[in-house]
A = this chain, B = another copy of it.
């Protein structure tokens, strides 16, 4: 991964299943786009959202955060800068490691299909083609150590989260990310509700190489500032981008 986080403090999470604001100029000042969601998301509407945004802001980095493999296609992979894949610490086994090994097993088995090549599957040709294709794909993958803290959310639902971490456990997961799993990003996700600064303060204590993101319920300058002061490298703003562009504008640091 080669991202200059010193220039990224405001991230906009775009749900491709929701309609975009009429005037995309509201994005002026945000530093990164993450496209992803659960209900109704497809590779097609993901691609539409990415295209609309890159048309208005060609130099704005765009990631895709897929919830399921059918959100991903050869075209989506080529359209985005990175594909960010959550590993949910307080989720079930499937959503920290199970699905990931399945994904990489598929990638290892038929990379040429994944990248839409039509090369015949013959011997060393495909072996080499395969490994090239795999490295091409894996170069774009970014692991995100996730803690999903709003139990009554779609994010918690899809990742089997039944327990909210205490700030001490959040700090433990952050420390595990920094010194054991090595994901470049640690993400505190309050998905739809504002969690306040406690988890971010706890996590930031032990993060130096890892980038700390907070998302959830940020709809004002005050909340944005509180989370950044608590130690987040960047805030992630989603809902009000779709629902209330004026409030969204307030969350972008001047």
Contacts and interface: CB of A to CB of B under 8 A. Distances in A.
B108 A205 contact: yes
Contact of A179 (B104, B105, B176): B104
Please report whether the interface of chain A is mostly helix, strand, loop or mixed according to DSSP.
helix
A182 B143 contact: yes
Contacts of A106: 172
- Interface core residue of A93, A97, A100, A131 (most chain B CB under 10 Å): A97
Contacts of A180: 85, 87, 100, 104, 138, 141, 143
B96 A97 contact: yes
Interface residues of A, number: 38
The copy count of this chain in the complex is 2
Contacts of A100: 176, 180
A218 interface: no
A88 to B, nearest CB: 9
Contacts of A89: 97, 101
Counting chain B CB atoms within 10 Å of each CB, which of A92, A134, A169, A179 scores highest?
A179
Contacts of A107: 172, 175
A127 B172 CA distance: 15
A172 B104 contact: yes
A175 B134 contact: yes
A25 interface: no
Nearest to A202: B108
B179 A182 contact: no
A181 interface: yes
